[in-house]
């Protein structure tokens, strides 16, 4: 009889890279993993039902039909892919799906699933109808993504044991589940992977009126008083993103508390945003650094790599976090040769338009 492996030996339970039980309480209000007051508050601000979700009307309606039809058939819904800029509610919708279905949510992220065995450990822990949520799904390694193909279609995976002439395949049957993926870069998903999602929904930035509703709802949960003008100011500066609106509201709440639990009015909101470097267009210091870099290169375009080197930020961060709002606001535009600052962008940072090269002008500096 072979000896029982010790915990520090390969093959023992202690050698598992992935522990499904570690995710059971992840993100649950009041759980061991979320005991910090700020974290509990963050979860508490999220809607828990589709009826509470503000905005994204088309997305919510399509998701409601999809869930209602699946529940009538008493089967798990098709796999769902949410895409769009960060902070728009993709994670909240995944949590809402599990709540509406009355099943458990198993959250993870693409970078956390480094090896196929990490994924297999998670898949085998799922019960029938559970929702597996993978954030940043575009960052899944190729080997892990390929294991998901059969798991999504046939609810089974095949593990390869040993190697060489002694290699053998171990098929593992899975309980039917629903995979929910969230991505900010849908174009990075392979075509075969994207085609396996039965429902693909894109979330867009919110209009100011919907953000005002979100700010007022969050203020009620946080038990702070805020007037309509202050809510409108926070909404207008939030770049169409509820997550940013929530962050601004918390900073204004801090100042209101320090000032003696005063109500949040327009003056307090303006003063707080000004103190953290947010201007009337919702731009922060990094946005203005990008515009100053482009102004220094005007009238010539600046490559993304050049901008990243000048301002000291990652290219992906510039492209995913800062650039979309600058483009929507009309402060910069993309060309085949790079990024160019617009006349509105020049006016915003107080720079003079550069002279045309044929007039002998040189790029200006600010």
The residues that are catalytic are 90-91, 135, 184, 243
Q: Work out the widest C-alpha separation in the chain, in whole angstroms.
A: 90
List the one residue out of 113, 184, 181, 188 whose CA is nearest residue 147. Answer: 113
Pairing of β 80-83 and β 199-202: parallel
Give the integer Cα–Cα distance in Å for 191 and 196. 9
Three-state DSSP class for residue 69 = helix
Handedness of CA 43, 47, 49, 55 (dihedral sign): negative
Contact yes or no for 308/267 (Cβ under 8 A): no
Q: Which residues pair with 156 in a beta bridge?
A: 173
Three-state DSSP class for residue 24 = coil
Contact yes or no for 206/236 (Cβ under 8 A): no
List the one residue out of 141, 144, 95, 142 whose CA is nearest residue 122. Answer: 144
Query: DSSP letter at 114?
Result: -
Three-state DSSP class for residue 161 = strand
User: What would the DSSP string read from start to end of 303-363?
Assistant: -HHHHHHHHT--HHHIIIIIHHHHHHTTSEEEETTEEEE-HHHHHHHT-PPPPPGGGT---
List the one residue out of 64, 59, 75, 136 whose CA is nearest residue 97. Answer: 64
Contact yes or no for 88/203 (Cβ under 8 A): yes
Tokens of 193: 């992977």
Distances (CA, A) of 96 to 160, 210, 234, 269: 36, 19, 26, 31
Three-state DSSP class for residue 196 = coil
Report the Cα 144 to chain-centroid distance in Å: 21
């Amino acid at each position: 009889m072979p000896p029982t492996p010790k915990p520090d030996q390969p093959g023992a339970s202690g050698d598992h890279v992935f522990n499904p039980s570690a995710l059971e309480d992840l993100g649950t209000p009041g759980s061991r993993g979320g005991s910090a007051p700020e974290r509990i508050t963050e979860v508490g601000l999220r809607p828990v039902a589709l009826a509470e979700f503000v905005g994204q009307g088309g997305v919510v309606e399509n998701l409601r039909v999809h869930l209602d039809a699946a529940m009538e058939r008493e089967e798990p819904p098709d796999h769902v892919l949410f895409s769009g800029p960060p902070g728009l509610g993709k994670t909240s919708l995944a949590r809402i799906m599990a709540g509406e279905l009355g099943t458990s949510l198993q959250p993870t992220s693409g970078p956390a699933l480094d090896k196929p065995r990490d994924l297999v450990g998670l898949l085998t822990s799922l019960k029938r109808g559970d929702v597996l949520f993978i954030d940043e799904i575009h960052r899944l390694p190729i080997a892990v993504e390929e294991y998901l193909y059969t798991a999504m279609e046939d609810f089974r995976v095949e593990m390869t044991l040993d190697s060489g002439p002694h290699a053998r395949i171990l098929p593992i049957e899975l309980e039917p589940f629903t995979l929910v993926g969230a991505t900010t870069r849908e174009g990075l998903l392979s075509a075969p992977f994207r085609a396996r999602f039965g429902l693909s929904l894109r979330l867009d930035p919110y209009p100011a009126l919907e953000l005002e509703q979100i700010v007022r709802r969050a203020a009620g949960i946080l038990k702070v008083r805020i007037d309509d003008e202050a809510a409108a100011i926070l909404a207008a500066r939030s770049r169409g993103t509820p997550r940013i609106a929530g962050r601004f509201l918390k900073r204004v709440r801090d100042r209101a508390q320090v000032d003696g639990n005063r109500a949040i009015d327009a003056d307090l909101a303006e003063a707080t945003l000004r103190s953290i470097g947010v201007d009337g267009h919702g731009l922060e210091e990094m946005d203005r650094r990008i515009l100053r870099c482009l102004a220094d290169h005007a009238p010539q375009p600046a490559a993304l790599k050049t901008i990243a080197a000048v301002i000291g930020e990652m290219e992906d961060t510039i492209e995913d976090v800062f650039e979309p709002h600058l483009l929507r606001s009309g402060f910069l535009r993309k060309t085949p040769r790079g990024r160019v600052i617009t006349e509105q962008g020049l006016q915003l940072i107080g720079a003079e338009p550069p002279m045309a090269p044929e007039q002998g002008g040189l790029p200006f500096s600010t």
